[in-house]
Amino acid sequence: MANVGSDKPNIRQVATIAGVSHMTVSRVLNDYPNIKPETRRRVLEAIEELDYRPNLVARALATQRSQRIGVIVESAVAHGPTSILRAVELAARGAGYSVTPIALLEGDPLTPQDAVDSLTTQGVDAICVIAPRSSSVAALRRVAMSVPMLVIKADADPTFLTVSIDQNAGAALVVDHLVSLGHRDILHVSGPLDWLDARARERAFHTRAKSWGVRERPIVVGDWSADFAYDFAIGLKRLPDFTAIFAANDDTAIGLIHGLHERGFDVPGDLSVVGFDDVPLARHFLPPLTTVRQDFEALGSAAVEMLRAAIEKREIPQVTRIPTELVVRESTAAPREVR
Amino acid sequence: MANVGSDKPNIRQVATIAGVSHMTVSRVLNDYPNIKPETRRRVLEAIEELDYRPNLVARALATQRSQRIGVIVESAVAHGPTSILRAVELAARGAGYSVTPIALLEGDPLTPQDAVDSLTTQGVDAICVIAPRSSSVAALRRVAMSVPMLVIKADADPTFLTVSIDQNAGAALVVDHLVSLGHRDILHVSGPLDWLDARARERAFHTRAKSWGVRERPIVVGDWSADFAYDFAIGLKRLPDFTAIFAANDDTAIGLIHGLHERGFDVPGDLSVVGFDDVPLARHFLPPLTTVRQDFEALGSAAVEMLRAAIEKREIPQVTRIPTELVVRESTAAPREVR
DNA sequence: GCCCGAGTCGTTCCCGATAACATCGCGACA
DNA sequence: TGTCGCGATGTTATCGGGAACGACTCGGGC
């Protein structure tokens, strides 16, 4: 800790002080076997004395490993992607990796390919894509990949590694809940169907609804936003003939509730509304929102685990489906007819 | 673009193909003057042919510049910090930098010092700290800094570069608005006072309230969360003697409204509530929330601009205060007495 | 007493770029 | 005509590590 010789010490200075070659220092640093305990001690002391830290850039050049994971996030504002990014960063850190995010904003001139390009040029060891559009996935499928790439999406994929939230189960939970309350007419307000998650929820809703004999009705395609949902609800002339709405995410649900309220409809009195995400505020909406919670931490860990395996060319763990959980609050109730 | 020779081409292969030395290629890459146009053309062709990309890791080692900015985020879940992080990433990208975030979670064993350490070891060119606690700033003040460090906080600081949201103006806007509606009894539910932003808003509220002759009353110290605010509101026995509440952030405001509603109080009929942040959902709350909007994009750009200047040892632009804007919606109205 | 092999540790080269300095050719000028 | 100077380019060192391979030491088996 002493001897703050102006500039950062390097491995050879440590070696000199310890009276060994720089390779021996390197070996100590990297926990090689076959170092005499006495030697190791001397090296460690020298490291301590100089307050030496290995230069990770130099190491990356020598090993061709940067210990970095690039993360491409489409739609970085929403709760889901943000939480996933944070979870991935956390898991990566735990595994000795750091993370470099690139957000693809609405109308960003940067294409997914550009992002991949930029990331690989920077030398990341792997790339993780969060919550993408199917068009992006299609585009990505076409770019030559020099590093492992994982896509967090709804279904398995032959081209990429995948980890996914079990949207099927989540949507099924919602439908089951509504059906058990007595609803037989459910509207789904989806996200943009180009979004994989939106598509998955929509499909799952459809399938489950059909299996219960819920009346078929065309879904309303939203855009994840509360604004859209609000406008839609405002547009309702009279109490519609469906008794419940399954919104693709909490934002949509809240916009719906706002609009319905302004139209003079009561939730859940006139209509039940369910969301998806369980944003932190969901339990404080009026009424508190019934929604689906996803385990982002587990998602992040699984993603990093797979990526690590791929980087180190170990056997890749099985594709994981992260479970979901229905959180029942006050925005759902039995439909009028049943009461 | 042809000739996908198995591995990534390096600068010397390009040089060989162009029939020049690798240094000439380097000069072309870095836009040096004094390259014969003809030579430059040949080099460019060779680059094209091999689809060559300079290895940024090697460049970083040689130049001692990684073109990376480390970002330390305390409380990565909230809307503010998240938006700032995204804005910084965007601005950094525009300036040819990439970003490496480290989130300091609640109860994270990682201290701010550890984060700085990890980042500098990785060789980042600068560090940006978002939305910190004052205790963190104090701790950071003590660590030797080998790279420029900027803290996004409320007030200027002799030790660090700073950029700040003008919390003073924001809080003043809120007080002015409430006073102009006729309120003379305003409660402030703050964030944790160890948080710089919370402290700044609290102080600014206090100052402005005093200057208007608003009745003094002890503030309620919250924790940014809707849960806390909800519990506080639930605890209210009868209609309190204040007529408006200034919440330190939108989450607090929404928790408050939820709790008040459950207690049977109407917002804004019985009480006005103002938030801070303008989260995307704020306009869809019931009632739509009056709140303060902050220009995170400007903040991000300013931060990156200052950091760049510091990195390149140019003159540092003046400390910037990012303006705020009051968004009046339906959660505020004149107090009963006045109507 | 000799040889062999495991345990230690050092030498040299390499990763892929930039920095610093050297060199070469050629026109201007004394 | 010699040379000074500058434009254009090449040569070598350097950044801070790790990989590959070589060499030395020492103990045990024959």
pLDDT at B4 over 70: no
Residue-level pLDDT at B204 = 94
Residue-level pLDDT at B5 = 47
Give the integer Cα–Cα distance in Å for A119 and A102.
9
Shortest CA gap B155–chain A (Å): 27
Q: Are A157 and A151 in contact (CB under 8 A)?
A: yes
- Condensed to tens digits (0 to 9), the pLDDT of residues B163-216 reads 988 989 999 999 999 999 999 999 999 999 999 999 999 999 999 999 999 987
Tell me which residue of B228, B243, B262 sits closest to B331, measured CA to CA. B243
Residue-level pLDDT at A7 = 74
Report how far apart the first and last C-alpha atoms of chain A are (Å, whole number): 75
Contacts of B216 (CB under 8 A, 6+ apart): B209, B210
Shortest CA to C1' contact from B32: nucleotide: D8
Give the integer Cα–Cα distance in Å for A149 and A152.
10
Runs of H (alpha helix) within chain A: 11-18, 22-29, 37-50, 56-63, 79-94, 112-121, 134-142, 167-181, 196-211, 226-234, 250-262, 296-311
Residue-level pLDDT at A257 = 97
Before A268, cis peptide (omega within 30)? yes
The helix (run of H) or strand (run of E) holding residue A128 is strand A126-130
Q: Is B207 exposed, middle or buried (0-12, 13-18, 19+ CB in 10 A)?
A: middle
The helix (run of H) or strand (run of E) holding residue A149 is strand A149-152
Residue-level pLDDT at A216 = 76
pLDDT at B138 over 50: yes
Q: Which residues pair with B71 in a beta bridge?
A: B101, B128
The helix (run of H) or strand (run of E) holding residue A325 is strand A324-327
Contacts of A118 in chain B (CB under 8 A): 98
pTM: 0.94
Interface test with B, best of A4, A51, A57 (most B CBs within 10 A): A57
Shortest CA gap B207–chain A (Å): 31
User: What DSSP designation does B195 have?
Assistant: B
Residue-level pLDDT at B1 = 39
Sign of the alpha-carbon torsion through A196, A197, A198, A203: positive
Phi, psi for A46 (deg, rounded to 5) = -60, -40
Which residue type occupies A63? T
Nearest CB to A61 within list B57, B76, B284 = B57
Nearest CB to A86 within list B68, B98, B103 = B103
Residue-level pLDDT at A3 = 42
Nearest CB to A103 within list B90, B110, B251 = B90
Q: In what order do the strands lie in the sheet with B161-165?
A: B98-104, B68-74, B126-130, B149-152, B161-165, B321-322
Nearest CA in chain B to A122: B56
Q: How far is C-alpha A315 from the chain's CA centre? A: 23
Nearest CA in chain B to A99: B100
pLDDT at B281 over 80: yes
Interface test with B, best of A225, A284, A297 (most B CBs within 10 A): A284
Q: How far is CA A202 from CA A84, A189, A195, in A?
A: 21, 9, 11
| Residue for token pair 């509440």 | B245
Q: How far is C-alpha B182 from the chain's CA centre? A: 34
Nearest CA in chain A to B104: A90
Average pLDDT taken over every residue of chain B: 92
Tell me which residue of A95, A147, A103 sits closest to A122, measured CA to CA. A147
Tell me which residue of B42, B37, B8, B9 sits closest to B25, measured CA to CA. B42
Q: Are A235 and A262 in contact (CB under 8 A)?
A: no
The helix (run of H) or strand (run of E) holding residue B169 is helix B167-181
The residue that leads in pLDDT, A108 or B259, is B259
Residue-level pLDDT at A140 = 94
Instruction: Name the band, by pLDDT with cuts 50, 70 and 90, for residue B6.
Output: low
- Digitized pLDDT (tens) for each residue of chain A, 339 residues in all: 334 445 789 999 999 999 999 999 999 999 998 899 999 999 999 999 999 999 999 999 999 999 999 999 988 778 999 999 999 999 999 999 999 999 998 888 999 999 999 999 999 999 999 978 999 999 999 988 889 999 998 788 888 999 988 989 999 999 999 999 999 999 999 999 999 999 999 999 999 999 999 987 899 999 999 999 999 999 998 989 999 999 999 999 999 999 999 999 999 999 999 999 999 999 999 999 999 999 999 999 999 999 999 999 888 887 778 999 999 999 999 998 644
Residue-level pLDDT at A6 = 56
Residue-level pLDDT at B2 = 39
The residue that leads in pLDDT, B155 or B57, is B57
Nearest CB to B281 within list A66, A98, A226 = A226
- Condensed to tens digits (0 to 9), the pLDDT of residues B223-255 reads 999 999 999 999 998 889 999 999 999 999 999
Residue-level pLDDT at B216 = 76
Residue-level pLDDT at B315 = 87
What 3-state class would DSSP assign to B88? helix
Footprint of strand D on the protein (CB under 7 A): A 7-8, 10-12, 22-23, 26, 29-30, 52-55, 58-59, 61-63; B 19-24, 27, 33-36, 38-39, 58, 61-62, 64
Q: Are A112 and A131 in contact (CB under 8 A)?
A: no
Give the integer Cα–Cα distance in Å for A24 and A19.
10
User: What DSSP designation does A277 have?
Assistant: B
- Condensed to tens digits (0 to 9), the pLDDT of residues B149-164 reads 999 987 888 889 999 8
pLDDT at B7 over 80: no
